[in-house]
Structure 1
Amino acid sequence: MLLALDIGNSNIVIGASENGNWRHQWRIQTDTEKTADEYVVLFNSLFSEEDLTFDKFDQIIISSVVPQLTQIISEMFEKKSHTEALILNGEVETGLAIKRVNRKSIGADLIADAVGAYELFKDDCIVVDFGTATTVMAVRTPGEFIGGSICAGLKVTIDALVGKTAQLSQIPLEPPKQVIGGSTMEAMQSGLVLGHLCMIEGLVDRMQKQLGGSAKVIATGGLSEKIAEHTDYFDVIDPMLTLDGLRLIMKRQEA
Protein backbone atom coordinates (compact mmCIF):
# COMPACT_ATOMS: atom_id res chain seq x y z
CA MET A 1 0.00 0.00 0.00
CA LEU A 2 1.19 3.51 -0.83
CA LEU A 3 1.16 6.40 1.60
CA ALA A 4 1.52 9.88 0.09
CA LEU A 5 2.05 12.99 2.20
CA ASP A 6 1.97 16.61 1.08
CA ILE A 7 3.44 18.70 3.91
CA GLY A 8 2.37 22.31 3.46
CA ASN A 9 2.82 25.40 5.59
CA SER A 10 -0.75 25.19 6.93
CA ASN A 11 -1.80 21.55 6.52
CA ILE A 12 -0.44 18.08 5.93
CA VAL A 13 -2.57 16.19 3.42
CA ILE A 14 -2.25 12.41 3.58
CA GLY A 15 -3.59 9.69 1.33
CA ALA A 16 -3.47 5.90 1.45
CA SER A 17 -3.67 4.28 -1.98
CA GLU A 18 -4.15 0.66 -2.94
CA ASN A 19 -4.23 -0.63 -6.52
CA GLY A 20 -4.29 2.93 -7.84
CA ASN A 21 -7.29 4.00 -5.77
CA TRP A 22 -7.37 6.29 -2.76
CA ARG A 23 -8.78 4.32 0.15
CA HIS A 24 -8.35 6.94 2.87
CA GLN A 25 -7.50 10.62 3.08
CA TRP A 26 -6.66 12.83 6.04
CA ARG A 27 -5.88 16.51 6.53
CA ILE A 28 -4.12 17.64 9.69
CA GLN A 29 -2.68 20.95 10.79
CA THR A 30 1.03 21.49 10.23
CA ASP A 31 2.77 21.88 13.57
CA THR A 32 6.53 22.37 13.57
CA GLU A 33 6.55 22.28 17.37
CA LYS A 34 5.51 18.63 17.53
CA THR A 35 8.21 16.08 18.23
CA ALA A 36 8.68 12.82 16.34
CA ASP A 37 7.05 10.94 19.21
CA GLU A 38 4.03 13.22 19.12
CA TYR A 39 3.64 12.62 15.38
CA VAL A 40 3.84 8.87 15.99
CA VAL A 41 0.90 9.15 18.40
CA LEU A 42 -1.04 11.32 15.93
CA PHE A 43 -0.52 9.01 12.95
CA ASN A 44 -1.26 5.94 15.06
CA SER A 45 -4.58 7.51 15.95
CA LEU A 46 -5.41 8.33 12.33
CA PHE A 47 -4.47 4.88 11.09
CA SER A 48 -6.25 2.97 13.85
CA GLU A 49 -9.56 4.62 12.92
CA GLU A 50 -9.26 2.95 9.50
CA ASP A 51 -7.86 -0.34 10.80
CA LEU A 52 -4.41 0.49 9.45
CA THR A 53 -0.93 0.30 10.95
CA PHE A 54 2.45 1.72 9.97
CA ASP A 55 3.66 -1.60 8.62
CA LYS A 56 0.82 -1.74 6.08
CA PHE A 57 2.71 0.74 3.90
CA ASP A 58 5.48 -0.58 1.68
CA GLN A 59 5.71 2.61 -0.38
CA ILE A 60 5.93 6.14 1.02
CA ILE A 61 6.39 9.39 -0.87
CA ILE A 62 6.62 12.85 0.67
CA SER A 63 6.23 16.29 -0.84
CA SER A 64 7.23 18.99 1.63
CA VAL A 65 7.77 22.73 1.76
CA VAL A 66 8.53 22.59 5.50
CA PRO A 67 12.15 21.40 5.80
CA GLN A 68 12.08 21.07 9.60
CA LEU A 69 9.28 18.49 9.30
CA THR A 70 10.59 16.61 6.28
CA GLN A 71 13.30 14.80 8.23
CA ILE A 72 11.18 14.25 11.35
CA ILE A 73 8.32 12.63 9.45
CA SER A 74 10.44 10.68 6.95
CA GLU A 75 12.59 9.19 9.73
CA MET A 76 9.47 8.39 11.75
CA PHE A 77 8.02 6.36 8.88
CA GLU A 78 11.31 4.62 8.16
CA LYS A 79 11.52 3.56 11.80
CA LYS A 80 7.87 2.53 12.21
CA SER A 81 7.11 1.04 8.78
CA HIS A 82 10.66 -0.09 7.87
CA THR A 83 10.20 1.65 4.51
CA GLU A 84 12.41 4.45 3.27
CA ALA A 85 10.34 7.38 2.06
CA LEU A 86 10.99 8.97 -1.32
CA ILE A 87 11.40 12.72 -0.75
CA LEU A 88 10.24 14.54 -3.86
CA ASN A 89 12.46 17.30 -5.22
CA GLY A 90 13.56 18.67 -8.56
CA GLU A 91 16.15 15.92 -9.02
CA VAL A 92 13.64 13.04 -8.84
CA GLU A 93 12.62 11.55 -12.18
CA THR A 94 8.93 12.39 -12.58
CA GLY A 95 8.25 12.02 -16.29
CA LEU A 96 8.18 15.81 -16.76
CA ALA A 97 11.05 17.82 -18.19
CA ILE A 98 12.28 20.69 -16.00
CA LYS A 99 14.62 22.86 -18.08
CA ARG A 100 13.76 26.50 -17.52
CA VAL A 101 13.25 26.33 -13.76
CA ASN A 102 15.93 25.98 -11.08
CA ARG A 103 15.49 22.37 -9.97
CA LYS A 104 16.88 23.09 -6.51
CA SER A 105 14.38 25.85 -5.74
CA ILE A 106 11.16 24.47 -7.20
CA GLY A 107 8.52 23.44 -4.65
CA ALA A 108 7.87 19.71 -4.48
CA ASP A 109 4.12 20.29 -4.32
CA LEU A 110 4.28 22.25 -7.58
CA ILE A 111 6.04 19.34 -9.27
CA ALA A 112 3.38 16.93 -8.04
CA ASP A 113 0.60 19.26 -9.23
CA ALA A 114 2.21 19.55 -12.66
CA VAL A 115 2.62 15.78 -13.00
CA GLY A 116 -0.99 15.15 -12.01
CA ALA A 117 -2.35 17.83 -14.34
CA TYR A 118 -0.35 16.77 -17.39
CA GLU A 119 -1.31 13.13 -16.85
CA LEU A 120 -4.96 14.22 -16.86
CA PHE A 121 -4.90 16.45 -19.95
CA LYS A 122 -1.88 15.25 -21.98
CA ASP A 123 -1.76 18.80 -23.34
CA ASP A 124 -0.78 22.36 -22.41
CA CYS A 125 -2.24 23.06 -18.97
CA ILE A 126 -2.29 25.55 -16.12
CA VAL A 127 -2.56 24.51 -12.47
CA VAL A 128 -3.97 26.89 -9.85
CA ASP A 129 -3.29 25.67 -6.31
CA PHE A 130 -5.20 27.52 -3.59
CA GLY A 131 -3.06 26.92 -0.52
CA THR A 132 -1.14 29.05 1.96
CA ALA A 133 0.24 30.59 -1.20
CA THR A 134 -1.83 30.64 -4.37
CA THR A 135 0.30 29.31 -7.19
CA VAL A 136 -0.38 29.39 -10.93
CA MET A 137 1.91 27.01 -12.83
CA ALA A 138 2.15 26.03 -16.48
CA VAL A 139 3.05 22.80 -18.25
CA ARG A 140 3.70 22.71 -21.98
CA THR A 141 3.41 19.80 -24.42
CA PRO A 142 5.11 17.33 -24.66
CA GLY A 143 5.45 17.48 -20.87
CA GLU A 144 7.68 20.34 -19.77
CA PHE A 145 7.22 22.25 -16.53
CA ILE A 146 7.98 25.85 -17.53
CA GLY A 147 7.22 27.82 -14.33
CA GLY A 148 4.51 30.22 -13.24
CA SER A 149 3.46 32.70 -10.56
CA ILE A 150 3.39 32.53 -6.75
CA CYS A 151 0.99 34.86 -4.93
CA ALA A 152 -0.06 35.41 -1.34
CA GLY A 153 -2.83 32.96 -0.50
CA LEU A 154 -6.35 34.23 0.11
CA LYS A 155 -6.49 33.24 3.78
CA VAL A 156 -3.04 34.75 4.42
CA THR A 157 -4.18 38.01 2.83
CA ILE A 158 -7.39 38.08 4.85
CA ASP A 159 -5.58 37.29 8.11
CA ALA A 160 -3.09 40.07 7.43
CA LEU A 161 -5.86 42.59 6.77
CA VAL A 162 -7.99 41.52 9.74
CA GLY A 163 -4.94 41.88 11.97
CA LYS A 164 -4.78 45.54 10.98
CA THR A 165 -8.55 46.12 11.17
CA ALA A 166 -9.78 46.24 14.75
CA GLN A 167 -13.49 46.41 13.85
CA LEU A 168 -13.53 43.12 11.92
CA SER A 169 -12.70 39.79 13.50
CA GLN A 170 -13.56 37.49 10.60
CA ILE A 171 -14.32 37.79 6.90
CA PRO A 172 -16.29 34.89 5.32
CA LEU A 173 -14.39 33.23 2.48
CA GLU A 174 -17.13 33.91 -0.05
CA PRO A 175 -17.91 36.79 -2.41
CA PRO A 176 -20.77 39.22 -1.71
CA LYS A 177 -23.93 39.05 -3.81
CA GLN A 178 -22.82 42.12 -5.73
CA VAL A 179 -19.36 43.41 -6.52
CA ILE A 180 -20.33 46.81 -5.10
CA GLY A 181 -20.45 45.98 -1.41
CA GLY A 182 -23.16 47.72 0.59
CA SER A 183 -21.33 47.41 3.90
CA THR A 184 -17.74 47.38 5.08
CA MET A 185 -17.86 43.57 5.36
CA GLU A 186 -19.28 43.16 1.86
CA ALA A 187 -16.80 45.65 0.44
CA MET A 188 -13.92 43.69 1.99
CA GLN A 189 -15.35 40.41 0.67
CA SER A 190 -15.54 42.00 -2.77
CA GLY A 191 -12.00 43.30 -2.65
CA LEU A 192 -10.46 40.19 -1.12
CA VAL A 193 -12.38 37.25 -2.57
CA LEU A 194 -13.42 38.68 -5.91
CA GLY A 195 -10.15 40.60 -6.14
CA HIS A 196 -8.24 37.35 -5.60
CA LEU A 197 -10.25 35.67 -8.34
CA CYS A 198 -9.66 38.60 -10.69
CA MET A 199 -5.93 38.26 -10.05
CA ILE A 200 -6.06 34.55 -10.87
CA GLU A 201 -8.16 35.12 -13.98
CA GLY A 202 -5.74 37.82 -15.15
CA LEU A 203 -2.71 35.56 -14.65
CA VAL A 204 -4.44 32.68 -16.43
CA ASP A 205 -5.31 34.96 -19.36
CA ARG A 206 -1.69 36.10 -19.69
CA MET A 207 -0.38 32.54 -19.42
CA GLN A 208 -2.89 31.39 -22.02
CA LYS A 209 -1.47 33.94 -24.44
CA GLN A 210 2.07 32.72 -23.78
CA LEU A 211 1.00 29.09 -24.25
CA GLY A 212 -1.02 29.73 -27.39
CA GLY A 213 -4.50 30.18 -25.94
CA SER A 214 -5.89 26.67 -25.54
CA ALA A 215 -4.38 25.37 -22.29
CA LYS A 216 -6.66 23.45 -19.95
CA VAL A 217 -6.96 24.92 -16.44
CA ILE A 218 -7.31 22.92 -13.23
CA ALA A 219 -7.86 24.11 -9.65
CA THR A 220 -6.61 22.29 -6.57
CA GLY A 221 -5.70 22.99 -2.94
CA GLY A 222 -7.63 23.34 0.29
CA LEU A 223 -9.74 26.29 -0.87
CA SER A 224 -10.23 25.15 -4.47
CA GLU A 225 -13.82 23.89 -4.19
CA LYS A 226 -14.95 26.87 -2.13
CA ILE A 227 -13.39 29.55 -4.32
CA ALA A 228 -13.32 28.07 -7.82
CA GLU A 229 -17.09 27.70 -7.99
CA HIS A 230 -17.33 31.46 -8.39
CA THR A 231 -15.51 31.54 -11.74
CA ASP A 232 -15.86 29.71 -15.04
CA TYR A 233 -12.12 29.68 -15.78
CA PHE A 234 -11.53 26.12 -14.56
CA ASP A 235 -12.03 23.03 -16.68
CA VAL A 236 -11.54 20.76 -13.66
CA ILE A 237 -11.58 21.20 -9.87
CA ASP A 238 -9.61 18.43 -8.17
CA PRO A 239 -8.56 18.75 -4.50
CA MET A 240 -6.69 15.42 -4.83
CA LEU A 241 -4.41 16.58 -7.66
CA THR A 242 -1.23 16.85 -5.57
CA LEU A 243 -1.65 13.38 -4.08
CA ASP A 244 -2.45 11.97 -7.52
CA GLY A 245 0.78 13.49 -8.80
CA LEU A 246 2.70 11.87 -5.94
CA ARG A 247 1.09 8.51 -6.68
CA LEU A 248 2.06 8.78 -10.36
CA ILE A 249 5.63 9.75 -9.51
CA MET A 250 6.03 6.74 -7.23
CA LYS A 251 4.59 4.47 -9.93
CA ARG A 252 7.17 5.82 -12.38
CA GLN A 253 9.97 5.05 -9.92
CA GLU A 254 8.92 1.40 -10.13
CA ALA A 255 9.07 1.52 -13.93
Structure 2
Amino acid sequence: MLLTVDVGNTNVVLGVFKNRKMIGSWRMATDNKRSADEYGVIIDQMFRHDGISPKDIDDAIISTVVPSLLFTLQHMCLKYFNITPLVVETGIKTGLKIKCDDPRQIGSDRIVNAVAAHAKYDGPLIVVDFGTATTFCVVTEDAEFLGGAIAPGIKTSATALFEHTAKLPNVDLETPNRVICKNTIENMQAGLIFGQMGLAERIIEGMKKELVSDYGKKYEDIKVIATGGMATMVDSGVSCIDVIDRRLTLDGLVEVYEKNKAVRKK
Protein backbone atom coordinates (compact mmCIF):
# COMPACT_ATOMS: atom_id res chain seq x y z
CA MET A 1 0.00 0.00 0.00
CA LEU A 2 1.06 3.58 -0.68
CA LEU A 3 0.96 6.27 2.03
CA THR A 4 0.37 9.79 0.67
CA VAL A 5 1.06 12.78 2.92
CA ASP A 6 -0.08 16.30 2.01
CA VAL A 7 1.27 18.87 4.48
CA GLY A 8 -0.60 22.16 4.33
CA ASN A 9 -0.32 25.24 6.51
CA THR A 10 -3.44 24.26 8.45
CA ASN A 11 -3.80 20.48 8.12
CA VAL A 12 -1.81 17.36 7.34
CA VAL A 13 -3.93 15.09 5.14
CA LEU A 14 -3.06 11.41 4.82
CA GLY A 15 -4.26 8.83 2.33
CA VAL A 16 -3.58 5.13 1.90
CA PHE A 17 -3.97 3.64 -1.58
CA LYS A 18 -3.84 0.08 -2.86
CA ASN A 19 -3.50 -0.29 -6.62
CA ARG A 20 -4.60 3.36 -6.99
CA LYS A 21 -7.77 2.72 -4.94
CA MET A 22 -8.12 4.77 -1.78
CA ILE A 23 -8.40 2.58 1.31
CA GLY A 24 -8.75 5.46 3.77
CA SER A 25 -7.95 9.09 4.50
CA TRP A 26 -7.29 11.06 7.67
CA ARG A 27 -6.70 14.66 8.71
CA MET A 28 -4.80 16.23 11.60
CA ALA A 29 -3.74 19.75 12.50
CA THR A 30 -0.36 20.90 11.21
CA ASP A 31 1.88 21.43 14.23
CA ASN A 32 5.57 22.37 13.92
CA LYS A 33 6.13 21.50 17.57
CA ARG A 34 5.21 17.83 17.19
CA SER A 35 8.10 15.40 17.06
CA ALA A 36 8.49 12.51 14.62
CA ASP A 37 7.44 10.16 17.41
CA GLU A 38 4.27 12.15 18.13
CA TYR A 39 3.27 12.13 14.47
CA GLY A 40 4.14 8.43 14.24
CA VAL A 41 2.04 7.43 17.25
CA ILE A 42 -0.96 9.50 16.11
CA ILE A 43 -0.81 8.07 12.58
CA ASP A 44 -0.34 4.54 13.92
CA GLN A 45 -3.46 4.93 16.10
CA MET A 46 -5.54 6.29 13.22
CA PHE A 47 -4.44 3.46 10.95
CA ARG A 48 -5.12 0.74 13.51
CA HIS A 49 -8.56 2.21 14.25
CA ASP A 50 -9.40 1.58 10.57
CA GLY A 51 -7.76 -1.85 10.42
CA ILE A 52 -4.50 -0.85 8.73
CA SER A 53 -1.16 -2.05 10.08
CA PRO A 54 2.07 -0.06 9.54
CA LYS A 55 3.45 -3.27 8.00
CA ASP A 56 0.87 -2.89 5.20
CA ILE A 57 2.59 0.31 3.95
CA ASP A 58 5.07 -0.45 1.15
CA ASP A 59 6.05 3.09 0.17
CA ALA A 60 5.26 6.75 0.87
CA ILE A 61 5.23 10.14 -0.85
CA ILE A 62 5.17 13.58 0.81
CA SER A 63 4.18 17.00 -0.49
CA THR A 64 4.68 19.90 1.91
CA VAL A 65 4.36 23.67 1.90
CA VAL A 66 5.82 23.72 5.44
CA PRO A 67 9.55 23.05 4.89
CA SER A 68 10.29 22.87 8.64
CA LEU A 69 8.15 19.72 8.91
CA LEU A 70 9.79 17.80 6.09
CA PHE A 71 12.65 16.29 8.12
CA THR A 72 10.24 15.41 10.94
CA LEU A 73 7.93 13.48 8.63
CA GLN A 74 10.80 11.85 6.76
CA HIS A 75 12.18 10.61 10.08
CA MET A 76 8.68 9.45 11.09
CA CYS A 77 8.32 7.40 7.90
CA LEU A 78 11.72 5.82 8.39
CA LYS A 79 11.14 4.91 12.04
CA TYR A 80 7.50 3.81 11.91
CA PHE A 81 7.24 2.41 8.37
CA ASN A 82 10.88 1.60 7.56
CA ILE A 83 10.54 3.73 4.41
CA THR A 84 12.46 6.71 3.07
CA PRO A 85 9.58 8.63 1.44
CA LEU A 86 9.58 10.16 -2.01
CA VAL A 87 9.36 13.95 -1.72
CA VAL A 88 7.68 16.23 -4.27
CA GLU A 89 10.47 18.70 -4.98
CA THR A 90 12.52 20.16 -7.82
CA GLY A 91 13.71 17.46 -10.20
CA ILE A 92 10.92 14.96 -9.58
CA LYS A 93 8.99 13.71 -12.62
CA THR A 94 5.52 15.23 -12.84
CA GLY A 95 4.69 15.17 -16.55
CA LEU A 96 4.07 18.93 -16.47
CA LYS A 97 5.83 21.49 -18.62
CA ILE A 98 6.36 24.45 -16.27
CA LYS A 99 6.04 27.75 -18.16
CA CYS A 100 6.84 30.03 -15.22
CA ASP A 101 9.81 32.33 -14.53
CA ASP A 102 11.19 30.13 -11.73
CA PRO A 103 9.63 26.66 -11.33
CA ARG A 104 11.27 26.32 -7.91
CA GLN A 105 8.93 28.98 -6.53
CA ILE A 106 5.76 26.99 -7.26
CA GLY A 107 4.34 25.23 -4.21
CA SER A 108 4.37 21.45 -4.39
CA ASP A 109 0.65 21.38 -3.56
CA ARG A 110 -0.11 23.41 -6.70
CA ILE A 111 2.00 21.08 -8.81
CA VAL A 112 0.32 17.98 -7.37
CA ASN A 113 -3.15 19.45 -7.89
CA ALA A 114 -2.29 20.30 -11.49
CA VAL A 115 -1.00 16.78 -12.15
CA ALA A 116 -4.19 15.22 -10.77
CA ALA A 117 -6.51 17.63 -12.56
CA HIS A 118 -4.84 17.04 -15.92
CA ALA A 119 -4.92 13.25 -15.43
CA LYS A 120 -8.59 13.22 -14.42
CA TYR A 121 -10.11 16.05 -16.47
CA ASP A 122 -7.67 16.67 -19.39
CA GLY A 123 -7.65 20.40 -20.18
CA PRO A 124 -7.51 23.30 -20.58
CA LEU A 125 -8.12 23.71 -16.85
CA ILE A 126 -8.26 26.28 -14.09
CA VAL A 127 -7.53 24.55 -10.79
CA VAL A 128 -8.59 26.41 -7.63
CA ASP A 129 -7.59 25.35 -4.12
CA PHE A 130 -9.61 27.08 -1.39
CA GLY A 131 -7.31 26.49 1.57
CA THR A 132 -5.19 28.65 3.88
CA ALA A 133 -4.35 30.50 0.69
CA THR A 134 -6.66 30.48 -2.31
CA THR A 135 -4.56 29.43 -5.31
CA PHE A 136 -5.47 29.48 -8.98
CA CYS A 137 -3.45 27.43 -11.50
CA VAL A 138 -3.86 27.15 -15.26
CA VAL A 139 -3.01 23.91 -17.08
CA THR A 140 -3.40 23.27 -20.80
CA GLU A 141 -4.50 20.06 -22.49
CA ASP A 142 -0.80 19.51 -23.31
CA ALA A 143 0.07 19.52 -19.58
CA GLU A 144 1.62 22.99 -19.68
CA PHE A 145 1.50 24.75 -16.31
CA LEU A 146 1.08 28.36 -17.41
CA GLY A 147 0.98 30.04 -14.01
CA GLY A 148 -1.80 31.43 -11.86
CA ALA A 149 -2.68 33.64 -8.91
CA ILE A 150 -2.57 33.50 -5.11
CA ALA A 151 -4.90 35.25 -2.66
CA PRO A 152 -5.59 34.96 1.08
CA GLY A 153 -8.02 32.18 1.99
CA ILE A 154 -11.24 32.89 3.88
CA LYS A 155 -9.91 31.68 7.24
CA THR A 156 -6.66 33.60 6.76
CA SER A 157 -8.58 36.80 6.05
CA ALA A 158 -10.82 36.23 9.07
CA THR A 159 -7.80 35.74 11.32
CA ALA A 160 -6.16 38.89 9.96
CA LEU A 161 -9.25 40.97 10.75
CA PHE A 162 -9.45 39.58 14.28
CA GLU A 163 -5.74 39.99 15.05
CA HIS A 164 -5.16 43.40 13.45
CA THR A 165 -8.26 45.33 14.51
CA ALA A 166 -9.16 46.45 18.02
CA LYS A 167 -12.87 45.77 18.01
CA LEU A 168 -13.64 43.10 15.39
CA PRO A 169 -14.30 39.63 16.84
CA ASN A 170 -13.28 36.18 15.67
CA VAL A 171 -16.31 34.90 13.74
CA ASP A 172 -17.65 31.53 12.64
CA LEU A 173 -17.57 31.12 8.88
CA GLU A 174 -21.24 30.94 7.98
CA THR A 175 -22.86 32.44 4.90
CA PRO A 176 -25.31 35.20 5.89
CA ASN A 177 -28.70 35.53 4.23
CA ARG A 178 -28.03 39.08 3.07
CA VAL A 179 -25.21 41.26 1.82
CA ILE A 180 -26.50 44.34 3.65
CA CYS A 181 -26.11 43.03 7.18
CA LYS A 182 -27.28 44.58 10.46
CA ASN A 183 -24.59 43.50 12.95
CA THR A 184 -20.82 43.29 13.07
CA ILE A 185 -20.56 39.50 12.93
CA GLU A 186 -22.74 39.19 9.84
CA ASN A 187 -20.99 42.21 8.30
CA MET A 188 -17.71 40.33 8.60
CA GLN A 189 -19.19 37.07 7.34
CA ALA A 190 -20.63 38.84 4.30
CA GLY A 191 -17.34 40.53 3.51
CA LEU A 192 -15.28 37.38 3.97
CA ILE A 193 -17.48 34.86 2.18
CA PHE A 194 -19.12 36.96 -0.54
CA GLY A 195 -15.76 38.66 -1.04
CA GLN A 196 -14.11 35.30 -1.72
CA MET A 197 -16.91 34.41 -4.12
CA GLY A 198 -16.40 37.65 -6.01
CA LEU A 199 -12.64 37.16 -6.03
CA ALA A 200 -13.03 33.68 -7.48
CA GLU A 201 -15.42 34.85 -10.20
CA ARG A 202 -13.22 37.80 -11.19
CA ILE A 203 -9.97 35.83 -11.39
CA ILE A 204 -11.51 32.84 -13.17
CA GLU A 205 -13.19 35.11 -15.72
CA GLY A 206 -9.93 36.96 -16.33
CA MET A 207 -8.00 33.73 -16.74
CA LYS A 208 -10.52 32.41 -19.25
CA LYS A 209 -10.28 35.61 -21.30
CA GLU A 210 -6.47 35.37 -21.35
CA LEU A 211 -6.58 31.69 -22.35
CA VAL A 212 -8.80 32.66 -25.27
CA SER A 213 -6.88 35.76 -26.39
CA ASP A 214 -3.28 34.72 -25.62
CA TYR A 215 -3.37 30.95 -26.11
CA GLY A 216 -6.16 30.40 -28.63
CA LYS A 217 -8.32 28.25 -26.34
CA LYS A 218 -12.08 27.96 -26.72
CA TYR A 219 -13.95 29.56 -23.85
CA GLU A 220 -16.46 26.72 -23.58
CA ASP A 221 -13.70 24.08 -23.32
CA ILE A 222 -12.08 25.56 -20.21
CA LYS A 223 -13.02 23.54 -17.11
CA VAL A 224 -12.76 24.86 -13.56
CA ILE A 225 -11.86 22.29 -10.90
CA ALA A 226 -12.02 23.27 -7.23
CA THR A 227 -10.66 21.62 -4.12
CA GLY A 228 -9.89 22.60 -0.51
CA GLY A 229 -11.85 22.98 2.69
CA MET A 230 -13.77 26.11 1.62
CA ALA A 231 -14.64 24.94 -1.90
CA THR A 232 -18.23 23.93 -1.16
CA MET A 233 -18.98 27.19 0.65
CA VAL A 234 -17.69 29.27 -2.25
CA ASP A 235 -19.36 27.07 -4.87
CA SER A 236 -22.75 27.67 -3.24
CA GLY A 237 -22.70 31.28 -4.40
CA VAL A 238 -20.99 31.16 -7.79
CA SER A 239 -21.57 29.58 -11.19
CA CYS A 240 -17.96 29.49 -12.40
CA ILE A 241 -16.92 26.15 -10.81
CA ASP A 242 -17.57 22.98 -12.82
CA VAL A 243 -16.31 20.25 -10.46
CA ILE A 244 -15.45 20.02 -6.76
CA ASP A 245 -12.86 17.32 -6.18
CA ARG A 246 -11.90 16.91 -2.52
CA ARG A 247 -9.42 14.12 -3.29
CA LEU A 248 -7.50 16.08 -5.90
CA THR A 249 -4.25 16.51 -3.94
CA LEU A 250 -4.07 12.92 -2.68
CA ASP A 251 -4.87 11.58 -6.15
CA GLY A 252 -2.16 13.86 -7.52
CA LEU A 253 0.36 12.36 -5.11
CA VAL A 254 -0.52 8.91 -6.45
CA GLU A 255 -0.01 10.13 -10.03
CA VAL A 256 3.38 11.64 -9.18
CA TYR A 257 4.43 8.48 -7.35
CA GLU A 258 3.51 6.31 -10.34
CA LYS A 259 5.71 8.47 -12.57
CA ASN A 260 8.70 7.99 -10.25
CA LYS A 261 8.30 4.54 -8.69
CA ALA A 262 10.54 2.80 -11.22
CA VAL A 263 13.60 4.57 -9.80
CA ARG A 264 12.61 4.35 -6.12
CA LYS A 265 15.13 3.15 -3.56
CA LYS A 266 13.23 2.66 -0.33
Q: TM-score, with normalisation over the residues of structure 2?
A: 0.91
Q: Does 1:223 align with 2:227?
A: no
Q: Does 1:173 align with 2:173?
A: yes
Deviations 1:29-50 (A, max 9, x none): 0000011121121111111111
Q: Does 1:241 align with 2:248?
A: yes
Deviations 1:78-136 (A, max 9, x none): 23222221100232111111132422221110001101111122111011101111111
Q: How does 1:31-70 map to 2 (within 5 A)?
A: 31-70=31-70
Output the amino acid matched with 2:144.
E
3-state SS of 2:103 partner: coil
User: 1:22 deviation in Å?
Assistant: 1.0
Aligned to 2:4: 4
User: 1:225 deviation in Å?
Assistant: 2.1
Aligned to 2:215: none
C-alpha distance in structure 2 between counterparts of 1:162 and 1:31, whole Å: 21
3-state SS of 1:198 partner: helix
Q: Does 1:119 align with 2:125?
A: no
Aligned to 1:110: 110
Q: List alignment gaps of at least 5 residues for structure 2.
A: 213-218
C-alpha distance in structure 2 between counterparts of 1:91 and 1:243, whole Å: 20
Q: After TM superposition, which residue ranges in structure 1, 4 or more long, deviate above 4 angstroms? A: 165-168
Calculate the aligned-residue CA RMSD, in Å.
1.6
C-alpha distance in structure 2 between counterparts of 1:218 and 1:71, whole Å: 32
C-alpha distance in structure 1 between counterparts of 2:163 and 2:81, whole Å: 43
Contact 1:136 1:149 in 2 (8 A): yes
C-alpha distance in structure 1 between counterparts of 2:100 and 2:66, whole Å: 24
Contact 2:196 2:234 in 1 (8 A): no
Aligned to 2:216: none
Deviations 1:166-208 (A, max 9, x none): 5553323232212222322222222111011101110111101
The alpha-carbon distance between structure 1 residues 196 and 47, as it changes in their structure 2 partners (threshold 3 A), is same
C-alpha distance in structure 1 between counterparts of 2:138 and 2:195, whole Å: 22
Q: TM-score, with normalisation over the residues of structure 1?
A: 0.94
Aligned to 2:95: 95
Deviations 1:123-174 (A, max 9, x none): 1101110111111111112111111111111101101112245555332323
Output the amino acid matched with 2:106.
I
The alpha-carbon distance between structure 1 residues 181 and 18, as it changes in their structure 2 partners (threshold 3 A), is same
3-state SS of 2:233 partner: helix
Q: List alignment gaps of at least 5 residues for structure 1.
A: none
More deviation, 175-184/135-144: 175-184
C-alpha distance in structure 1 between counterparts of 2:205 and 2:103, whole Å: 26
3-state SS of 1:92 partner: coil
Contact 2:99 2:147 in 1 (8 A): no
Aligned to 2:189: 189
C-alpha distance in structure 2 between counterparts of 1:204 and 1:123, whole Å: 15
Contact 1:89 1:103 in 2 (8 A): no
Output the amino acid matched with 1:143.
A
Query: Between the two proteins, what is the percent identity of the paired residues?
Result: 39
User: 1:75 deviation in Å?
Assistant: 2.0
